[in-house]
Amino acid sequence: MHADLHTRWLVVAVVVGVASTATAVAGPLQIGVAKAKLTPEQPGQWIAGYGDNRPAEGSHDDIWTRAMAVSDGETTIVIVANDLIGLFYPDTREIAAQAQGVPPDHVVITCTHVHSAPDVLGLWGPNRMTRGVDEAYLALVKTRIAETINAALGARQPAKLRFARAEAPEKTGYNCRERELVDPEVSLMQAVTSEGEPICTLVNYACHPEVLQTESRLITSDYVHYLRDEMESAGTGDVLFVNGALGGMVTPEIEDSTFEEAERVGRALGQAALEGLKTTDEIAEGEVRFSRGTFDLPFENVGLSMLAQLGVIHRQPTADGTVRTTVIGAAIGPAQFASMPGEALPKVGLAAKALMTGKYRFFFGLCDDELGYLLHAEAIDNPLYRYEQSMSANPRGTPLLMEQLAAALNAP
């Protein structure tokens, strides 16, 4: 039965294209960073991530969009990190289309998956059947992200890149489903000026930003706020946090759902990252290699299909029952980058890292889309993962995504 289903994916999947660019020689790097607040000026939006009916009563700290543009003189990519629950493919591509002087495909838009920001997907309104998105806020978010991408492109200056890694300390992220299934790696990419002055630092680690839970009514970027503060106070330049394979179910290991615990987790991770940055591989020039695979995935979730039909989420499958989605593969110097369009479970993220041969490996989750949980084989029919199965656009879709990812990583 599984084999039949697998065959069906392969038949139904329509590969729209693998767009890739490669330059002949490594060039001097140019890097720019920009950021803007996504905190709503007036509260009242529905908060996304836990139960329904959580109206925002104010904000504790700001939520952000942050963009980092990297060029080798020939190829340019932009990596964006947003303090949001997620963004669907149509929205990320609408934003990317506004980037100036760079192909939209080269704009890589991630969300931290914070559970204390306004709903921009639709699932967390006053009740399960009512769309939770404040459309004016979503429009503003898209405009602001696009402006920030262009600001990062405009801010490019000669730069060097440093790569490093660290390990997450005890009592930060842990897997509450199967404790041993976790990727503790913190992958780090820091841009510095020709004189060695930090411009920005990208931190890639897998853990739900959900210290603040269902009873909280304040907008916050959760532990990520403190992680960034810890690092920026130490002079790292602006920090971009990109989440990893946080699905099923990597969550902060906390005593209570409090800002004190969010601070403890965030600062502990920030300190580990700062320690990791003491030993780096630095490159002054390099080749930016980038490839994006875009394809149609069968949408096989009755509950989510119904919510799409009701207009709760704006992610209606096409007549053939698919949704378009995307993955990326990229490389710069000793580092490789892979993405998945949703909440990959740790085993899926580790399998993606195993496809990469670079000394430094980055796995971007919730990248350019949010298809819900992306399950590994043993989780598909496992009652332990019933919730993840119910919140996945296609619980059996991971092999197709992995196939597309391998192709993107192996593109010339």
Binding site for Zn ion (CB under 5 A): 343
Residue 251 or 271: which CB sits closer to Zn ion?
A: 251
Residue 105 or 119: which CB sits closer to Zn ion?
A: 119
Orientation angle between helical segments 259-276 and 223-233, nearest 10 degrees:
40
Residue 296 or 370: which CB sits closer to Zn ion?
A: 370
Residue 83 or 238: which CB sits closer to Zn ion?
A: 83
Residue 163 or 223: which CB sits closer to Zn ion?
A: 223
Instruction: Enter the tokens of residue 291.
Output: 């490839």
Residue 185 or 343: which CB sits closer to Zn ion?
A: 343
**What DSSP assignment string belongs to 141-194?**
HHHHHHHHHHHHHHT-EEEEEEEEEEEPPTTSEEESS-TT----EEEEEEEEET
Q: What are phi and psi of 271, to 5 degrees?
A: -65, -40
What's 392's DSSP letter?
B
Q: Residue 184: how many CB atoms within 10 A of its CB?
A: 18
CB of 393 to Zn ion, least distance (A): 13
Residue 250 or 268: which CB sits closer to Zn ion?
A: 250
CB of 366 to Zn ion, least distance (A): 9
Residue 91 or 105: which CB sits closer to Zn ion?
A: 91
Q: Residue 51: how many CB atoms within 10 A of its CB?
A: 11
CB of 302 to Zn ion, least distance (A): 20
Instruction: Enter the tokens of residue 244.
Output: 């990893």
CB of 343 to Zn ion, least distance (A): 5
**What DSSP assignment string belongs to 72-138?**
-SS-EEEEEEESSS---HHHHHHHHTT-SSS-GGGEEEEE---SSEE-SSSTTSSSTTS----HHHH
CB of 86 to Zn ion, least distance (A): 8
Q: State how far the Cα of 302 lies from the Cα of 157, in Å rounded to an integer.
A: 49
- Are residues 375 and 389 in contact, defined by beta-carbon separation less than 8 angstroms? yes
Q: For residue 109, give the nearest of 119, 98, 122, 96 by alpha carbon.
A: 96
Q: State how far the Cα of 15 lies from the Cα of 407, in Å rounded to an integer.
A: 11
CB of 244 to Zn ion, least distance (A): 12
Q: Which residue is nearest to Zn ion (CB)?
A: 343
